Amino acid sequence: MPSTLIVGAGMAGLTAARALAAEGIDVLVVDKGRAVGGRMATRRIGDAAFDHGAQHVSVRTDAFADEMQRLVDDGVTRVWLRTPSVAHPERGVEARYAGVGGMRRIPEALAAGLAVKTGTPVDRLEFAATDAIVLTPPAPQTMGILAANGLAVPDELVAIEYDATLAVMATLDEPADLPDGHVAPASGPVAWMADNQHKGVSAVPSLTIHSTAEFAAAHIDRDPEAWTKALLEAARPHHAGGVTDAVSHRWRFSQPHSTLGCGAMTVGAPIPVVLAGEVFAGARVEGAHISGLAAAEMVLDLLS
Ligand SMILES: Cc1cc2nc3c(=O)[nH]c(=O)nc-3n(C[C@H](O)[C@H](O)[C@H](O)COP(=O)(O)OP(=O)(O)OC[C@H]3O[C@@H](n4cnc5c(N)ncnc54)[C@H](O)[C@@H]3O)c2cc1C
């Protein structure tokens, strides 16, 4: 049975892995993180829980709609909000799905039944140990892996730049009382706030606060205590309750400025090496899904 190593257990890697496993390929998914999900992340701190990466998922393609419906039927996702897109108001009101109990439930469900090794950073690629490799980290990290293995880095990837996001996870002493569970302030430094209790993620009042890209660019390498305090102060007028505890997280490669629209890409190597991830198909969870499917198709073609 041919085998494929997939680096990255986010939406792109897990989607590729499931599609390949369904075709009888022996798949191993490895991720440097402690858990699966990548930027679809949920963190627990005491009794509080926080979605601190992707907040919700919207659906525009038939294949992703089918995937979401299957996850809804399995009790893994549900519609959290129905709101118009800020970037595309012409699309009207869209359903926004969230993981039941947290966004990480979605990748956890996708990983079920697959061979997945977390806590495993990949640097050296062992070309003799597998028939094909799929790399799904954000572009700068994929470029690092290619370079470390003497493989050419495609010019298209070099040009990709990412926005960062600074996230603050705050536990409150009473419900946050955000209208419809979320706020997107009109001006910075806070871009988005979500009430994890309203979302059904946290048993106790808890807020996720995301910075604007501009604030993140200016503060990401500075003292986290200072930017955490600044974001909490800026968020304060928007929520009820007092903050009892707060922790922070840096998303250095939060969202790419531009994407390539090719689904996935191969690079010259001793065995088929396919590059995938949201940067190849749209800077959202759905883009990562589309890219994962494209990567699986490329691997199947190259192995046939
Ligand atoms: C703060 C924030 C908010 C967002 N909000 C939304 C939203 O509301 N809706 C939406 O649709 N999208 C949102 N996104 C974007 C969305 O999360 C991503 O587009 C999508 O999850 C990307 O999936 P991926 O599989 O391509 O990459 P990732 O999820 O980044 O997965 C890549 C994986 O590769 C692993 N990895 C990296 N390097 C190595 C290595 N050397 N060895 C092993 N493993 C490695 C990483 O640990 C990671 O798990 C948001 C992102 C952020 C950060």
DSSP output for the chain: --EEEEE--SHHHHHHHHHHHHTT-EEEEE-SSSSS-TTS-EEEETTEEEE-S---B---SHHHHHHHHHHHHTTSEEEEEEEE-SS-GGG-EEEEEEETT-TTHHHHHHHTTSEEE-S----S--GGG-SEEEE-S-HHHHHHHHHHTTPPPPHHHHT--EEEEEEEEEEESS----GGGEE--SSSSEEEEEETTTTTS-SS-EEEEEE-HHHHHHHTTS-HHHHHHHHHHHHGGG--S-EEEEEEEEEEEEEES----SS-EEE--SS-EEE-SGGGT-SSHHHHHHHHHHHHHHHHHHH-
Whether 296 is covered by a domain: the verdict is yes
Q: What is the CATH number of the domain that holds 214?
A: 3.90.660.10
Domain that holds residue 171: 162-256
Q: How far is CA 7 from the centre of its chain?
A: 14
Closest by CA position to 76, among listed 101, 56, 51: 101
Please state the rounded mean pLDDT for residues 270-291: 97
Task: Place 91 in a pLDDT band, splitting at 50, 70 and 90.
Answer: confident
Residues 145, 222 within the same domain = no
Please state the rounded mean pLDDT for residues 111-121: 98
62-87: pLDDT as tens digits: 999 999 999 999 999 999 999 887 77
Sole residue written with tokens 């039941």? 100
Q: Ligand 1, atom 41: nearest CA belongs to which residue?
A: 122
- Measured N-to-C along each axis, helices 285-303 and 11-22 cross at an angle, to the nearest 10 degrees, of 40
CA of 136 to the centre of ligand 1 (A): 9
Whether 62 is covered by a domain: the verdict is no
Whether 183 is covered by a domain: the verdict is yes
Whether 90 is covered by a domain: the verdict is no
Q: How many CA atoms lie within 13 A of 241 on its CB side?
A: 20
Share of the chain above pLDDT 90, in %: 96
Q: Looking at ligand 1, which atom is closest to the CA of residue 291?
A: 26
216-238: pLDDT as tens digits: 999 999 999 999 999 999 999 99
Residues 46, 117 within the same domain = yes
Q: What is the pLDDT of residue 104?
A: 98
Whether the predicted pLDDT of 20 surpasses 80:
yes
CA of 279 to the centre of ligand 1 (A): 10
Whether 237 is covered by a domain: the verdict is yes
Residues 174, 151 within the same domain = no
CA of 237 to the centre of ligand 1 (A): 30
Residues 247, 275 within the same domain = no
Whether 222 is covered by a domain: the verdict is yes
Closest by CA position to 103, among listed 226, 230, 201: 201
Q: What is the pLDDT of residue 282?
A: 94
Name the residue of 285, 286, 289, 291 whose CB sits within 8 Å of the most ligand 1 atoms, as the mutation to test its pocket.
Answer: 285
Residues 236, 279 within the same domain = no
Q: What is the pLDDT of residue 150?
A: 96
250-278: pLDDT as tens digits: 999 999 999 999 999 999 999 999 999 99
Residues 211, 284 within the same domain = no
* Tally of domains in the chain: 2
Asked whether the whole model's pTM tops 0.85, one would answer: yes
Cβ burial 260-294 (10 Å sphere, 16+ → b, else e): beebbbbbebebbbbbbbbbbbbbbbbbbbbbbbb
54-63, 85-94, 161-170, 256-265: lowest mean pLDDT where? 85-94
Whether 67 is covered by a domain: the verdict is no
Residues 139, 266 within the same domain = yes
Distance CA 47, CA 206 (A): 10
- Measured N-to-C along each axis, helices 62-73 and 285-303 cross at an angle, to the nearest 10 degrees, of 110
R_g of the chain computed on alpha carbons = 19
Q: Looking at ligand 1, which atom is closest to the CA of residue 52?
A: 1
Q: How many CA atoms lie within 13 A of 120 on its CB side?
A: 16
Q: What is the pLDDT of residue 136?
A: 98
Please state the rounded mean pLDDT for residues 244-249: 97
Whether 213 is covered by a domain: the verdict is yes
74-88, 157-171, 280-294: lowest mean pLDDT where? 74-88
Whether the predicted pLDDT of 195 surpasses 90:
yes
Residues 9, 113 within the same domain = yes
Residues 130, 247 within the same domain = no
Residues 126, 200 within the same domain = no
Sole residue written with tokens 């198709």? 297
Residues 216, 138 within the same domain = no
Residues 141, 168 within the same domain = no
Q: Looking at ligand 1, which atom is closest to the CA of residue 121?
A: 42
Average pLDDT, the chain: 96
- Ligand 1 is surrounded, with C-beta below 6 A, by 7-13, 30-33, 38-40, 53-57, 121-122, 136-138, 141, 145, 165, 167, 210, 251, 254-255, 277-278, 283-285, 287-288
